[in-house]
Chains A and B, each alone.
Chain A
Amino acid sequence: MSGTTLAGPHLVDASGLKTHFTSRRGLPPLRHTTVIRAVDGVDITIARGETLGLVGESGCGKSTLGRSLLRLVEPTAGSLTFDGIDVIGADDGSLRRLRRRMQMVFQDPYGSLDPRMTVEQAIGEPLRIHALASGAKRSSRVRELLGQVGLDPRVGERYPHEFSGGQRQRIGIARALAVEPEFIVCDEPVSALDVSIQAQVLNLLDRLRAELRLTFLFVAHDLSVVRHISHRVAVMYLGSVVEVASRDRLYAEPLHPYTRALLSAVPVPNPRMEKGRQRMILKGDVPSPARPPSGCRFHTRCPLAIERCSVEVPILEEKRPGHVAACHLVDRVPPASRPTVAAAP
Chain B
Amino acid sequence: MRTLEVKNDSLSEMEKYESMEHGVDGMKTRCPSTDIKNKENDEIIITDCLGERYMGCAKKSGILRIKGTPGNALASYLDGGTVLVDGNAQDAAADTMNAGLLAVRGSAGDALAYGMRGGRVYILGDAGYRAGVHMKAYGDKRSILVIGGRAGSFLGEYLAGGIIIVLGLGYEGKDITGYFCGNGMYAGTIYLRTDKTPLNLSQNLIKRDVTKEEKEKILSPILSDYAATFSLSLERCLSGGFIAIEADKSKTYGELYAAV
- The answer to whether A and B assemble together is no
- Chain B contacts to A: CB under 8 angstroms: none
- Chain A contacts to B: CB under 8 angstroms: none
